Structure 1
Amino acid sequence: MDRDLVVRQPFLENTGYCHCCRSTVTFRSESDWLRDNYYCLQCRSIPRNRHLHLVLDAKFPGWESAEIHECSPVNDFTSRYAQRYTRSVYEAGIALGSICKGARCENVEAMTFRDESFDLFITEDVLEHVFRPDRAIAEIMRVLRPGGAHVFTAPKQKWITHTRQCAQLIDGEIKHLYEPQYHSAADGGRSLVTWEYGYDFELLLSEWAGDVPVETHRLMDRSKGIDAEFNEVFVIRKPCNGSLHAWNPRSFA
């Protein structure tokens, strides 16, 4: 048989419901590494995008009307539905709080937003690239309103017992503690991995957030295009009057 005539079969293909484009679609992956290759053929979302939006839809009904901020977004899956949405990116050399390339320039470790500015704060695979995740989490909790939540993804390594710092920033210089690792960045460049999170991740998150509970959502459901490694979605809710309360979309009116 002429090899040029052989039609390559996808590693995985199925139909289901996509929470990112809210449609019945076909999901397909040409690779066994589903995390970055199991696409929705309609909106090009990948598993962690879809899992995060499933959590938003299931746990935060009416979230579209909330005051939402997204740090370093690489897609429009949140902004296309949100009625009150802002986004930020960090650009070295740009004044914090100013507008850069259509987004606000912010350092998630030291933001310029006022206290209690948002109902929801969203990050996708950001925390493994910051030098001080403790400061980032504390800052996010500061800018959340009581009863609001940080909804996010970050790779939790199943083979690492204790979280480890991979790089430090000392006097403006990067000090590598392990062999440097990089992830692909939205602009086509590379992002340095500064932390690898292990089994103690939720304990650290709780400590950094002020000793509040951390929800970890795990799911494998190909009917929703959700199946991949490192696909947890984490939720940290800001207490209201000393206690956590149910999400109330009526308060957004």
Structure 2
Amino acid sequence: MQVIADNLQLLIEWLMGVPVGLKLNRPLSTVLGKFFLYHLYLWKTYIDIIKPIVSTIIFISSTVGLIGLSFQMALLSDLITMASLHCYCFYVYATRLYGITLHGLGSTLRMFGGRKWNPLRSRYDSGDFSWDQLCVGMFIFSSLLLLLPTLLVYYVVFLALRLCVLFLQGTLRRLIWIINSLPSYSLLLWILGSPSLAGKSNFSKYLCLVNKLNIFHLQATSYSK
């Protein structure tokens, strides 16, 4: 978990600069970077506190998990969830900021079109706006539009991290399902040619005198017998 936090810190510091040559809004990028770095500092402090407890839990779970591979993979999925908790929080923060910005842009655009949201009837109604209100709306729209690329970069980066975590967890869940559904023990016995599984089948034919029907009897025997 410490390695993930250190790499995430390097990523945030890279975003605060000039990522892939993109010229972002420097004040906003600095504020967002310091905000995420502060939360990352809190996460590192939390890791230092719970590290002995987590190590004990992992040791006990790993010892118990020797009885099955699916248990080990489920434990790994839980550890990934716990180790990426701060990544999920950063994704939520970036998503909320990006969503608020898009909502503000949409509201100002509707204001320029002479429409406003009516919360009582839950619909858009026509509205009359004064020149001062339109000037304020233009100022808000221009500010949000200039800040949108910086927020979009942070949103895309943390969204990519979140998708990577979800893909990894989904892969582990699929593997666990395959392991639990596949008859691994019987398949292994069949590959090794175990006498407890391999055998021969005998068919016996009987004639029913009452209904004049042929009755077949199947008897399976193993080589161990």
TM-score range, shorter chain: under 0.3
Q: Which of the pair has the greater relative contact order for Cα pairs under 8 Å at 6+ separation?
A: 1
TM-score normalized by the length of structure 1: 0.20
Q: Which has the higher strand share?
A: 1
TM-score (structure 2 length as normaliser): 0.22
More helix by share: 2
| Larger radius of gyration between Structure 1 and Structure 2 | 2
